[in-house]
Structure 1
Amino acid sequence: MTPPVSEKSEKSATSKSDAVYRTLKRAILDQALAAGTKLPEDSIGERLGVSRTIVRQALARLNGEGLIEQRPHKGACVAQPSLQDGRDIFAVRQALEALVVDTLAGKLTPQQIKQLETHVDAEDTARANNSANSIQLAGEFHVLLAQLTDNDVLARYVTELVSRSSLILSLYGRPHSSDCAVSEHREIIQALVNSDRKKACSLMEEHIDAITTRALLKGNPEKDFPDLLVAYAKAEGL
């Protein structure tokens, strides 16, 4: 049975909103959109060929993840977290993600283990190719772990914190060994598979602490966002 026209239209709008959200998120984490850059709904909508309503939905999601700031009567702009914000974010992540691995130790199914290993393989490939999405993939590993707990509240908070810390790393991240985070992720998976709850928690704590110490202040000049968004939009099929 063919879905009603209104249902098709709703699905299309949701798909476009998701694509705009991913386009903006990728541009922010790549620092193509510098911290503090204004994000006018009309300019974004015109450049990406979507309505302001769709842009507004995407911006609301990004605001919920802490990647942008929406100020009354001033519009939205890319968030400008400080290094202290970063330390606070990672401190909370450390506690929540210890709970994640404590929950998962010895409970992963073969399919879930394969899912995690496949994701880490993708991280490895991205880092080897100096891919701009390596930070995003690394963060998504932690989101995936949280989702596997089947605790929706925990997954939601970890997802938000990962987005915020990904922005911190894109702004202040210090170059580090291309395989260090990947190897740390593999060690965490192995500890979970071995049902070693204590080791898994210890590894995650050390991992988050290591990420925190890989940050230092660095700048990035502002760029004209309407034109640069086009390339990101093409990747999302807009």
Structure 2
Amino acid sequence: MSTQQSRSDAIYASLRRAILEQALKPGVKLPEDSIGDTFGVSRTSARNALLRLASDGLVEIRPNRGAAVAMPTLEEAKEVFSLRRCLEREVIERLCTRMPKDGIDALVSHIREEERALRASSPRSIRLAGEFHILLAELTGSKLLIDFISQIVSRSSLILARFGRPHSAECGIDEHIQLIEALKNLDKETAIQIMDHHLHAVEDRAKADDGDAEPDIAQILNHYITEQSQR
């Protein structure tokens, strides 16, 4: 791997975490020069990372206006959650037909990470809550399903960052634990019912938001650079 590619990967990973942890809100501008200066890299490396994030649906690149964190609409939000319920039901049906041998252990391990992040009041808990659903898809072994779920979970995170009311993350973890128990028993009907209730609860948290002042991008990203270097 080239040095430039390695630097672009680091920028991509840091920006992605900052967006999914809602440190960078929808609509926030992402200037190539500021990002390049913050990471100590060229604008080319910054641009490549932004293009990857755009392909993930997390960033919008607008002609003559530059890049910004993607700004979902309420109409898109309704469609995203409608499609997400269909996709997640498919995941549940597949896992109840065939759960990998170490699947439940992997889910339980993830829950422990969620609980640690919640106790530490870390924004990681927001990202981990979404990654729980991606892990479920990964356990199906379907690359297409993993890709679809990853993208729709990311879009859901943006929707909640823009429209979401505050809530207790403990509620989400409790529902994840209930879901694991149903999957452990291969109880498809209960698992689908829990998942539907969970996603409806997430969707119901949407509300209009007047937005905040433009944040200090360098200050936010410095935190993620430090975190990346410790990995």
TM-score by length of 1: 0.88
Which of 168, 187, 196 is residue 178 of structure 2 equivalent to?
187
Aligned residue in 2 for 1:53: 44
The C-alpha deviation readout for 1:185-210, integer Å capped at 9, x for no partner, is: 11111111111112212211111111
Q: Does the aligned pair in 2 maintain the 1:32–1:223 contact within 8 Å? A: no
Which of 218, 227, 235 is residue 219 of structure 2 equivalent to?
227
Distance 1:19 1:91 in 2: 33
Give the C-alpha shift of residue 13 in structure 1: 4.1
Tell me: CA distance 1:108–1:124, structure 2 relative to 1, closer, same or farther (3 Å): same
Give the C-alpha shift of residue 23 in structure 1: 1.4
Which of 190, 200, 203 is residue 212 of structure 1 equivalent to?
203
The C-alpha deviation readout for 1:1-58, integer Å capped at 9, x for no partner, is: xxxxxxxx42x44443332112112322344434322222222112101233322232
The C-alpha deviation readout for 1:139-187, integer Å capped at 9, x for no partner, is: 0000111111111111101100101111111222222233211111111
Which of 108, 132, 137 is residue 141 of structure 1 equivalent to?
132
Distance 2:181 2:44 in 1: 45
Tell me: CA distance 1:30–1:194, structure 2 relative to 1, closer, same or farther (3 Å): closer
Aligned residue in 1 for 2:154: 163
Distance 2:185 2:61 in 1: 45
Which letter does structure 2 place at the counterpart of 1:94? R
Distance 2:6 2:172 in 1: 32
TM-score by length of 2: 0.90
Which letter does structure 1 place at the counterpart of 2:174? S
Find out whether 1:236 has 2:228 as its counterpart. yes
Q: Percent identity?
A: 44
Aligned residue in 2 for 1:41: 32
Unaligned runs of at least 5 residues, structure 2: none
Find out whether 1:75 has 2:59 as its counterpart. no
SS in 1 for 2:229: coil
What is the count of residue pairs matched by the alignment? 229
Q: Does the aligned pair in 2 maintain the 1:120–1:186 contact within 8 Å? A: yes
Find out whether 1:28 has 2:24 as its counterpart. no
Please tell me the root mean square deviation across aligned C-alpha atoms, in Å: 1.9
Of residues 222-231 and 93-102 in structure 1, the stretch that sits farther from structure 2 once superposed is 222-231
The C-alpha deviation readout for 1:55-105, integer Å capped at 9, x for no partner, is: 223212211222110123332111111233222211111110100010011
Tell me: CA distance 1:206–1:31, structure 2 relative to 1, closer, same or farther (3 Å): closer
SS in 2 for 1:179: helix
Which of 98, 107, 110 is residue 116 of structure 1 equivalent to?
107
Unaligned runs of at least 5 residues, structure 1: 1-8
Q: Does the aligned pair in 2 maintain the 1:67–1:163 contact within 8 Å? A: yes
Tell me: CA distance 1:127–1:215, structure 2 relative to 1, closer, same or farther (3 Å): farther
Q: Does the aligned pair in 2 maintain the 1:28–1:34 contact within 8 Å? A: yes
